[in-house]
Chain A
Amino acid sequence: MGSGDRYSGFVFNPADLSEDVDVDVERRREILFADANLSRWTLWEVLGLPWNATADAAKAAYLDKVKVFHPDRYGGKRLGSYRGRLERVFRKLTEARDTLGDEPRRAAYARATAPADEFAKLEARKLEDDRRADERRARLSRQNPLLGRVARVAELVQRGKQAFLEGRFSQAANDLQVALTLDPKSVELASLVADARRKAGATRAADHYDRGVSAEVMGRSAAALAAFKEALEADPGNVRAAAAATRVALQLGDVAEARARAEAAVRAGPSIGLAHEALGMVLEAEGQRREAKKALERALELDPRLESAKERLKKLRWSFLG
Chain B
Amino acid sequence: MSDLDPVIGIDLGTTNSVVATVRDGVPVVIPNRAGQLLTPSIVAIAKNGKRLVGALAKRQAITNAESTVYAAKRLIGRRWGSKEVEDARRALPYALVPGPEGNDVRVQLGGRALAISEISAMVLAELRADAEAWFGRPVRRAVITVPAYFNDGQRQSTKDAGLIAGLEVLRIINEPTSAALAYGFGKQMEKKVVVFDLGGGTFDVSILDIGKSVYDVVAVGGDTYLGGEDFDRRVMDWLTFTFAKENGGIDLRQDKMALQRLRDGAEKAKCELSGSTAASIHLPFLVGGGDGKSALHLAKQLAREKLEELTKDLIDRCVAVTERTLKDAGVRAVQVGEVILVGGMTRMPRVQHAVRELFGKEPCKGVHPDEVVALGAAIQGHALTAPQPKGQEVLLLDVTPQNLGLMVVGGYFSTVIPKNTTVPTSQTHLFTTVQDNQTQVRIAVLQGESERAIDNELLGEFILDGIRPARRGEVSIEVSFDISADGIVGVSARDVVTGQEQSITVTATSGLTEEELRRILDEQRDDLLERKQSERDLGERRGQVLAIVREIEELVPAVTGALERTRFGKDAIQKAEGVLARVRAAVAAGDQAALQAEEESLERTLQLFKGLAATGRPPGR
A interface residues with partner B (beta carbon < 8 Å): 63-64, 66-67, 70, 72-73, 75-77, 87, 90-91, 94, 97-98
How far apart are A88's CB and chain B's nearest CB, in angstroms? 10
Q: How far is the CA of A190 from the CA of B597 in the complex (A)?
A: 104
Q: Number of B residues contacting the other chain (C-beta, 8 Å)?
A: 21
- Is B387 in the interface zone, CB < 8 Å from A? yes
Q: Mark B395-426, 1 if CB is under 8 A from A, else 0.
A: 11100000000000000000000000110111
CB pair A72 B396 closer than 8 Å: yes
User: Could you pull out 27 A-B pairs where Cβ atoms are within 8 angstroms?
Assistant: A63-B211, A63-B214, A66-B214, A66-B397, A67-B393, A67-B395, A70-B395, A70-B397, A72-B383, A72-B384, A72-B396, A72-B485, A73-B395, A75-B382, A75-B385, A75-B386, A75-B387, A75-B388, A76-B386, A76-B387, A77-B387, A87-B424, A90-B424, A91-B424, A94-B422, A98-B421, A98-B422
A161 to B386, CA, bound (A): 58
Q: A63-B216, A64-B212, A67-B395 are in contact. Are A76 and B385 (CB under 8 A)?
A: yes
A91 touches B395 (CB 8 A): no
| Shortest distance between the CB of A247 and any CB in chain B (Å) | 24
* B contacts, CB < 8 Å to A: 211-212, 214, 216, 382-388, 393, 395-397, 421-422, 424-426, 485
Chain A residues near B211: list those with CB within 8 A. 63
**Contact across chains for A91 and B216 when beta carbons are under 8 A apart:** no
Q: Which residues in A have their C-beta under 8 angstroms from that of B397?
A: 66, 70
Smallest CB-CB separation from B385: which chain A residue?
A76
Residues of B within 8 A of A66 (CB): 214, 395, 397
Q: Are B384 and A75 in contact (CB under 8 A)?
A: yes
A91-B214 contact in complex given A70-B395, A75-B384, A76-B385, C-beta closer than 8 Å: no
- Contact residue among B212, B382, B387, B424 (Cβ-Cβ distance under 8 Å from A63): B212
| B212 proximity list for chain A (CB < 8 A) | 63-64, 67
Complex Cα distance A211/B449, Å? 42
Task: Specify the chain B residue showing the minimal Cβ separation from A87.
Answer: B424
In whole Å, how far is A206's beta carbon from the nearest beta carbon of chain B? 27
- The CA-CA distance from A92 to B561 in the complex, in Å, is 83
Residues on A with C-beta less than 8 A from B216 are 63
B23 CB to closest chain A CB (Å) equals 16
Give A299 to B424 CA distance when docked, in angstroms. 43
User: Which B residues are in CB contact (< 8 Å) with A98?
Assistant: 421-422
| Cα–Cα distance between A72 and B214 once the two chains are bound (Å) | 11
Closest CB in chain A relative to B293 CB, distance in Å: 66
Q: Apart from A67-B393, A72-B395, A76-B384, list 5 A-B contacts with CB within 8 A.
A: A72-B383, A72-B396, A75-B387, A87-B424, A90-B424
Nearest B residue to A102 by beta-carbon distance?
A: B330
Complex CA gap A66/B422 in Å reads 12
Q: Closest Cβ of chain A: how far from B363's Cβ, in Å?
A: 26
Q: A196 CA to B84 CA in the complex, in Å?
A: 71
Chain B residues with CB under 8 Å of A91's CB are 424-426
Question: In the complex, how many angstroms separate the beta carbon of B179 from the nearest chain A beta carbon?
Answer: 18
Give complex CA distance A91, B421 in Å.
11
Output the residue of B211, B422, B424, B426 with the most chain A CB within 10 A.
Answer: B422
B386-A94 in contact (CB<8A): no
* A72–B216 alpha-carbon span in the complex (Å): 14
Shortest C-beta distance, A100 to chain B (Å), equals: 14
Q: Which residue of B lies closest to A97 (CB)?
A: B422
Q: How far is the CB of A74 from chain B (nearest CB, A)?
A: 8
Residues of B within 8 A of A77 (CB): 387
Chain A nearest Cβ from B591, distance in angstroms? 38
Q: Which of A64, A72, A75, A77 has the most B CB atoms < 10 Å from its CB?
A: A75
What's the Cα separation between A97 and B424 when bound, in Å? 14
The smallest beta-carbon distance between B75 and chain A, in angstroms, is 31
The CA-CA distance from A72 to B177 in the complex, in Å, is 15
Q: How far is the CA of A97 from the CA of B397 in the complex (A)?
A: 13
- Measured CB to CB, the nearest residue on chain A to B214 is A63
Closest Cβ–Cβ distance, residue A132 to chain B (whole Å): 40
Determine whether the beta carbon of A67 is less than 8 Å from that of B422.
no
Residues of B contacting A90 in the complex (Cβ-Cβ under 8 angstroms) = 424
